[in-house]
Amino acid sequence: MEEGGGVVRLKGCVKNYDWGRPGKESRVARLYSRNTGDHTIEQDKPYAEFWMGTHDSGPSYLVKGAAENGLALTLKNWIESNPSVVGDKIVNKWGSNLPFLFKVLSVAKALSIQAHPDKDLATRLHSELPDVYKDDNHKPEMALALTEFEALCGFISLEELKLIVQTVPEIIEVVGNACAEQVLDLNEDGEKEKVKLVLQSVFTEIMSASKDMIAEVIARLISRLHIKNQARQLTEKEQVVLRLEKQYPADVGVLAAFLLNYVKLKPGEALYLGANEPHAYIYGDCVEIMATSDNVVRAGLTPKHRDVKTLCSMLTYRQGFPEILNGTAVNPYTMRFIPPFDEFEVDRCILPEKSTAEFPAILGPSIFLVMEGEGTMNTSSDEIVCEGDVLFAPANTSITVATSSGLHLYRAGVCSSFLDK
């Protein structure tokens, strides 16, 4: 296959983590089946993530006319042989790996309470525990809602923290009266550092408590909430806590959820998750894009490896509700979501009937995913595209997308501000 000369079709990769939605209702399963022609989707098996990119744990493959020694050619290997398809700026900074990993997630059950290390911490963790932290890269990420999408993200404000200490006795059981008093005595004015230290102390006490203590406390919490539910409607956070406990009985993450913001995104809204910020996705479908890395520090709502000490020490303990991103219009049908990092950005393009959108040539590569509908993608020739199609557009390729019936697609690429430097 020659480099350049239009878009290249890709086959993505699927991940069947246990928090995924069952095949019969998973958007990930549907996209994967249409993308690969694999019609053996198991109705009750969880289909969690659809991956597009050069990550070694789930590489994308070129679809046609590209085989080496009878083996399918990965996107990564093709880029290595044809570096001009990603452009000089990308090669100089990241080599033949795309700096971003593009995904679709179908979430039925909460993911772990986790955070991603910054570059310095990632380097140290990788050198100390290479079997757990397998690379030295940071992993900022962004989730863009396809359906209503629920998540826990960042710490609640001081005002809310005081309310939680006053209304959730089980938290005091774990952290002790002295710690609770410290919270109630805090004043935001001029005490930012002190507030941070007290919040860190509360969170660390909870996350470090013994399994037996947490199991007992959560049993009492759930019993109390069921009784309260007879007398009044439970708060949103209380309802979330009950849901989490059903999924992860006696897990410390159920209690820790009280300290985190509960966020509901509408379709087309996004959440940016920077380094060292705690978060957990709870339910819904989203497009996700992140720096290419496996680095996750987990400490709750998970059967996987937990690193409580690292998580509690690495967090920023920044408080307040996270910013919800609505994107910036780049043409009448396309919103662009740009994080404060070089590695990635995402475009969401919804074309109504009989409309056209232009994606001008840029100095870096793009991956396009058709989420719904059908239409044409024109570079040097017309490509008919429909739901599940994934296409790699080399650097310096201008693209026109058109549809007669309607088309919903996403483009992932390197951040424009980096390319324009």
Residues 6+ apart with CB under 8 A from 160: none
Q: Are 322 and 271 in contact (CB under 8 A)?
A: yes
Top pLDDT among 190 and 273 is at 273
pLDDT, tens only, 250-290: 999 999 999 999 999 999 999 998 889 999 999 999 999 99
> Could you count the other beta carbons within 10 Å of the beta carbon of residue 314?
19
Residue 383 annotated as part of some ligand binding site: no
Name all domains of the chain by residue range, CATH numbers in brackets. Answer: 150-323 (1.10.441.10)
**What is the mean predicted confidence (pLDDT) over 68-79?**
79
d(CA 15, CA 28): 9
CA atoms within 13 A on the CB side of 78: 28
d(CA 88, CA 93): 9
Give the whole-angstrom CA distance, residue 401 versus residue 385: 9
Alpha carbon 351 to chain centroid, angstroms: 25
Residue 370: predicted pLDDT: 98
Cα separation, 343 vs 329, whole angstroms:
20
326: part of which helix (H) or strand (E)?
none
- The pLDDT of residue 51 is above 80: yes
User: Does the annotation list 226 as a binding residue?
Assistant: no
Among 27, 30, 298, 306, the one annotated catalytic: 298
Three-class SS of residue 13?
Answer: strand
Predicted model pTM: 0.93
For 198-231, the pLDDT digits (tens) are 999 999 999 999 999 999 999 999 999 999 999 9
Q: Is 116 annotated as belonging to a binding site?
A: yes
Say whether pLDDT at 4 is over 70: no
pLDDT single digits (tens) 314-341: 999 999 999 999 999 999 999 999 988 8
Pick the most confident of 60-74, 137-151, 363-377: 363-377
What does the pLDDT look like over 343-390, one tens digit per residue?
999 999 999 999 999 999 999 999 999 999 999 998 877 889 999 999
CB proximity list for 8: less than 8 A, separation 6 or greater: 1, 62, 63, 78, 391, 392, 394
- Across the range 116-129, mean pLDDT stands at 86
- 3 falls in which pLDDT band (50, 70, 90)? very low
Average pLDDT over all residues of the chain:
91
Distance CA 27, CA 145 (A): 13
How far is 184 from 147, CA to CA, in rounded Å?
38
* Confidence at residue 292, expressed as pLDDT on a 0 to 100 scale: 79
Read off the pLDDT band of 71 (50, 70, 90).
low
pLDDT of 1 strictly over 50: no
Q: Is residue 298 flagged as an active site residue? A: yes
Report residue 291 as tokens: 């720096």
* 188 annotated to a ligand binding site: no
